[in-house]
Amino acid sequence: MKLLSVTPLVIPDIKVIRFARFSDHRGYFTETFRKSDLVKDERVSFLKSVDFVQGNESFSRLGTIRGMHFQWNPFMGKLVRTVRGHMVDLVLDIRKGSPTQGCLIGYDMPDDPVSDFNEWIWVPPGFAHGNCFPEHTQIEYLCSGEYSQGCEASISPFTADIDWMLCDPALKAMFDRLNGSGALVTDKDRNGLSLREWFADERSDNFIYDKC
């Protein structure tokens, strides 16, 4: 796995890991993941103690909005990439006491099969995760915890008390266009908790901001 760059986003705990593709007249080859490279490279030292124990794949039709999901017992961090199509990844800070508590950011992740790189986005525990899709899209994500029914919750991406001020306005506009044109959303996601409801829930104490 040839790492090209590791870039923190406006919420610095969220990282984008760019890795190389090797192209010729036939197409390309790439290693999408190699644990030893992540252990050795100091740019991804935040992943050294992370053990990825579950791999997921999903397909979303044009106009789908998913999120905002999170889990505890066990906590689940996610390493997410676009395999084919166009994903806008959405990340919401739910860490109590964080300077960006309640803020949501987006990151644009279209797949370009002729590009010389692809990217992972790292979403650690303490953040609710979702995405929206302006075209048919297949994604893959590696998880640092196995799915645990009963130890999960979701915040509606449509709740009015989410702070979008740190999000790229163009990505927020794309989200709004998808929502306004009859987005494909589950009832569970659309009717998820508000931030106010979640932070009033004692389970929210599972996610406390660590200043260190």
- Of 113, 100, 112, nearest in space to 195 by CA: 100
Distance CA 21, CA 24 (A): 10
In the chain, % of residues over pLDDT 70: 100
Q: Which residues are catalytic?
A: 69, 141
Distance CA 129, CA 121 (A): 11
Query: Can you give the pTM of this predicted structure?
Result: 0.95
Q: Could you give all domains of the chain from N- to C-terminal order, each with its CATH number? A: 3-203 (2.60.120.10)
37 or 139: which carries more pLDDT confidence?
139
- In Å, the largest CA–CA distance within the chain is 57
pLDDT of 211 over the 90 cut: no
pLDDT of residue 212: 66
Beta strands in 111-172 (DSSP E): 117-123, 127-132, 137-143, 152-154
pLDDT of residue 203: 96
Distance CA 75, CA 94 (A): 13
User: pLDDT digits over 10-36, tens only?
Assistant: 999 999 999 999 999 999 999 999 999
* Average pLDDT of the chain, as a whole number: 96
